[in-house]
Structure 1
């Protein structure tokens, strides 16, 4: 899991608040993309697993 609060604290050491906000948005987007890909991959594996009769 990505701790976005931690990312904000670390990135807040930079001078430009706009850069900090953009970086947090990028991290949030990456986290969401990772969750979607993981969920989709899990569904594909589940759908591809043969069930013995």
Structure 2
């Protein structure tokens, strides 16, 4: 994280925000950096081997 901050990155994606009581500590930690929760879909299809943003 410090590397990206030093390089002036504006966005750092922690990955997953998960529903469920067992993940609330992790979610709180991630949001404590001042970010926001965004909805996105990520999946891998073995029939499509190239990235489509």
Say which one has the larger Rg: 1
When normalised by structure 1's length, the TM-score is 0.25
- More helix per residue: 1
Structure with higher RCO (Cα < 8 A, 6+ apart): 1
TM score, norm. by length of structure 2: 0.25
